[in-house]
Amino acid sequence: MESYDMLTAVENGVRQAVLATVIHVEGHAYRKQGAVMLFMEDGSSVGSISPGCLEADLTEYRSAVWESGKPQMVEYDMRPADDFGWGESIGCGGLLRILLEPVTGALLVSLLAIKARVDCGEEMELTRTFSDSYATIDYDWRAVSGRTPSDRRTDLSTYTSLFMPKPRVVVFGANQDAIPLVQLAISAGFRVVVADWRESMCTLERFPGAEIEVGFPEQLISLLKLTERDYVVVMSHQYQKDMDFVQGVMQSSLYYLGIMGSRERTERMLDGLDRPEWLHYPVGLRIGSEGPFENAVSIVAQLIAIRRGTLEREELCSVAKRRDIHGLGSW
């Protein structure tokens, strides 16, 4: 969710920033079309476009682009087989066209407006219309509606970027094993809420970067205001509390609900309830994980796979149900 982090940096008032956007890719590349990176005056940056090989070169363009006040297109072609420079160092061999834009004027106004709408839960898009060999750009932003959104180049004269709200992951249970899960989920670009009834455990000191909600299951259901965009992971390890929370959240339509524990434990918990296609138990991908950190990896991998749409949700669910992926009979 680097686009959201970029919007946040712009909103916070970065000085003399230049936005880099990958608008065209041919062949293999480390990042795909739509990747963004914001270069600041002080040399810091937000986001990434390569594993570190292009960033230094792009940084050299920042001052010139800002001072000119005009966008610039930069192309990196790593396709030739005899390329022992860019292509070998990056390890890809594709072609990237990267648009560099000074964050000022109409672009700045557009990004600030988009950030405000995204924070209200809307999916937004920004369409650029190019002229004068990319030296002039007209900006048009609007809410996405009626179709599947994606970053896309519609033709040689336009490019549309998509901006999505940061997906929210609610972790019910503030035990020690939730700490690596929360850290990994935040690093993967999720907005994380830790919810638990134990005030001494559910703290910002234990879960830096997360939001905190303290209350019993029925109180939390009301506080969280869950929607069909939310991901929920249940892992308090206390059967009655887990069951109360699960039965409460299943009154809503979610994007994902993962329950930690053996299949038999969860089946008892779900007795008499429907099994929606967004329900996953045991939680996580089948990677043979052991221990809190590996379990966290398997769970965050599943969240990412569902977010990216790289695997069908039904396929993920059926794989997870074949066995207890964490190798434990109960929690």
Bridging pattern class, strands 136-143 and 124-131: antiparallel
pTM of the model: 0.78
Mean pLDDT, rounded, for 252-259: 96
Residue ranges with strand state E in the chain: 18-26, 36-39, 45-47, 72-77, 95-102, 124-131, 136-143, 152-155, 158-163, 168-172, 191-196, 211-214, 231-234, 256-259, 279-280
Domain ranges (residues) in the chain: 2-163, 168-321
Mean pLDDT, rounded, for 1-10: 90
C-alpha neighbours within 13 Å on the C-beta side of residue 289 = 23
Contact between residue 238 and residue 265 where contact means Cβ atoms under 8 Å apart: no
Alpha carbon distances (Å) from 33 to 24, 50, 99, 238, 308: 6, 12, 11, 44, 14
- pLDDT at residue 329 tops 50: no
Whether the ω angle into residue 80 lies within 30 degrees of 0, i.e. cis, is no
Contact between residue 65 and residue 101 where contact means Cβ atoms under 8 Å apart: yes
Structure tokens given for 113: 């407006």
Q: Which residues contact 109 (CB under 8 A, 6 or more apart)?
A: none
Task: Supply the mean pLDDT for the chain.
Answer: 88
Contact between residue 281 and residue 259 where contact means Cβ atoms under 8 Å apart: yes
Alpha carbon distances (Å) from 199 to 209, 231, 267, 270: 17, 23, 29, 27
pLDDT value of residue 318 = 46
pLDDT value of residue 324 = 47
pLDDT value of residue 153 = 56
Mean pLDDT, rounded, for 275-291: 94
Cα–Cα distance measured from residue 36 to residue 23, given in angstroms and rounded to the nearest whole number: 9
Q: How confident is the model at residue 26 (pLDDT cuts 50, 70, 90)?
A: confident
- pLDDT at residue 195 tops 60: yes
Q: How confident is the model at residue 147 (pLDDT cuts 50, 70, 90)?
A: low
pLDDT value of residue 125 = 96
Mean pLDDT, rounded, for 156-163: 90
pLDDT value of residue 79 = 72
Superfamily of domain 168-321: NAD(P)-binding Rossmann-like Domain (3.40.50.720)
Q: How confident is the model at residue 311 (pLDDT cuts 50, 70, 90)?
A: low
C-alpha neighbours within 13 Å on the C-beta side of residue 188 = 24
Of how many residues is the chain composed?
Answer: 331
Q: Which of 7-11, 131-135, 171-175, 239-243 has the lowest mean pLDDT?
A: 131-135
- pLDDT at residue 28 tops 90: no
What is the 8-class DSSP label of residue 165?
P
Give residue-wise pLDDT tens across range 63-97: 999 999 999 999 998 776 555 554 444 445 678 89
Residues 137, 138, 144, 146: is their CA dihedral positive or negative?
A: negative
Q: How confident is the model at residue 314 (pLDDT cuts 50, 70, 90)?
A: very low
Q: Torsion angle, CA of 166/111/31/185, rounded to 10 degrees?
A: -20
Mean pLDDT, rounded, for 250-277: 94
